[in-house]
Amino acid sequence: MKFHEPGITVFFLLVLVSTFYLATWAENIPIFSEGHTELPNKNVEVDLPSWADFTLDMQEVDVEIEEYLEEEEEEEERSMVETRTINLRHNLWSPEFDTCTIENIGKSMRFQGTDEAVARLHNLFINLNEIGRDEREAIHVFHFGDSQIECDRITGRIRSSWQKTWGGSGPGLIPATQPVPSLSVRQETEGNVTRFTRFGKVDTTLGHTCYGGMAALAVIKDSARIILKAHPMGFHKNKIWEEVEILFGAVPMGGTLKIYGQATDTTITNIPPSSEGKHFTLKTMLKGELEDLEICIEGYHVEITGIRIGSPDGVQVHNIPMRGSSGTLFSRLHKKHFKAYMQNWDVGMVILQYGGNAAPYISDSTLAERYGKRFGRQVKYIRSVLPEAAVLVIGPSDMGQTLDSTKLSYPMLGNIRTAMRDATIKEGGLFWDLSDVMGGPGTMEAWASAQPQLAAPDLVHFTPKGARKIGQELDRAFRAEYRTWVDEIRENNK
């Protein structure tokens, strides 16, 4: 065997060490410089008219959001759901119309979406099935929408039905000051209270965008008294209040919270000081009996971002109407604050019911596509905040033009529905086409002429009876998905 000479070996090692040194030095030499432009680290408020969401001349701003699930994580999550052992609950209450699966309910009634979106809905079903076991906390459903859902319309119907099946009680979230009467709670607010909203005409004197999940808050100066009474015509479950939770934003100097009712002993709690952008809650247990509540708040400056009345378990369904909104405001809320607000609870599903306010201002297919893309970004945004929740988008209803003697649907309504559907499905949401459920274009006039009347003369809004019918149809579609899932689980358990 032939060996190297010692001198050659030393020379080779010197060359090798020198090479490593030069390579390290070369890495520190700037080959080129990349320019970076950073946006100013502050919130920018723009006072826009309520219809500005739909106009062409408004500059679009893409909001960069972090991806909520990597592809590998999504595959792992789906695999975990599929292999999970599920023991179905039996003898659950169901309405008389709950007889269909997605195979026989009719194509127009089905939720449309990808397998991944349906899997998130099935995950909600799994969690609903676990209610009542191991002291599981309540599952929350947020129903955001425009004026079609004001007064607890549509929402109240599905809340009552779902609470009968899976438990829970109470009307859920309500604002500290109610601008529109509700069919679930009668409410009076006294004192120095100012309401701020992120929809409609925005009052920029608030100075921040930490509105919370209702996109609205009330600022109390000095003191206020809020009187809450269960609506006598409301659903039975709405009248059972087991707890009240007050949601706070900025309270720079702290304050005092006093709650009392006919059945509940008076409780007095100190409100701790908190700065702008903070979110916290104070909860008081109630007797679960029919009673009026009085909530008294004192403090130099107290922000109330909501009041939740309900139960600690079962299902909590929140009705959050935003008059005049097209549903493109969520990404304008302070994300960290909105995330803290929503993640305060176990949110199983978010329902978005918008599109009607866009129809009068969209005159061509380009505008419809633009609105659809902007709306799709809201679905993506919400999914980034609540990655495990199912997102269901309810498209706009049919809408007639009363100023037009033909009373036909708005010409671009079909394009708007298509754009919303495509964007929703692309971003991982489910879509329910309300116009198709009603019967297609032109049916709003038929609903307005029906006996009993199901739509208002403006050919835009539903009457209370019409809203209850829509709520029932939504419940029917939801339960068809649930019944299909139950059948699949039973088949797999054989």
Residue 417's pLDDT band, with cuts at 50, 70 and 90, is: very high
Nearest to 353 by CA among 389, 397, 412: 397
What's residue 54's pLDDT?
Answer: 35
Distance CA 173, CA 182 (A): 12
Nearest to 175 by CA among 158, 159, 161, 193: 193
Q: What is the pLDDT of residues 107-147, one digit of tens each?
A: 999 999 999 999 999 999 999 999 988 778 999 999 999 99
Q: What is the pLDDT of residues 439-465, one digit of tens each?
A: 999 899 999 999 999 999 999 999 999
Q: What is the percentage of the chain residues whose pLDDT exceeds 90? A: 77
Q: Tell me which amino acid residue 241 is.
A: W
Residue 85's pLDDT band, with cuts at 50, 70 and 90, is: confident
Asked if the model's pLDDT at residue 332 lies above 80, the reply is yes
Q: What is the pLDDT of residues 257-293, one digit of tens each?
A: 999 999 999 999 999 999 999 999 999 999 999 999 9
Token duo for residue 97: 């119309």
Nearest to 358 by CA among 372, 377, 348, 338: 372
Distance CA 254, CA 252 (A): 6
Q: What angle do CA 341, 390, 113 make, to 5 degrees?
A: 145
Hunting for tokens 């005049």 — which residue is that? 324
Nearest to 384 by CA among 419, 432, 336: 336
Q: What is the pLDDT of residues 31-40, one digit of tens each?
A: 223 333 333 3
What domains sit in the chain, N to C, each tagged with a CATH number?
Answer: 45-53+67-81+92-168+314-494 (3.40.50.1110), 169-312 (2.60.120.260)
Of 295-309, 342-356, 394-408, the one with minimum mean pLDDT is: 394-408
Nearest to 260 by CA among 228, 235, 233, 231: 228
What's residue 83's pLDDT?
Answer: 53
Asked if the model's pLDDT at residue 75 lies above 60, the reply is no
Asked if the model's pLDDT at residue 254 lies above 60, the reply is yes
Q: What is the pLDDT of residues 161-211, one digit of tens each?
A: 999 999 999 999 999 999 999 999 999 999 999 999 999 999 999 999 999
Q: What is the pLDDT of residues 291-317, one digit of tens each?
A: 999 999 999 999 999 999 999 999 999
Nearest to 270 by CA among 306, 307, 299: 299
Asked if the model's pLDDT at residue 99 lies above 60, the reply is yes
What's residue 402's pLDDT?
Answer: 66
Residue 62's pLDDT band, with cuts at 50, 70 and 90, is: very low
Strands 346-353 and 390-394: parallel
The angle that helices 155-166 and 464-492 make with each other, rounded to 10 degrees, is 40
Phi and psi (nearest 5°) for 338? -60, -40
pTM here is 0.84
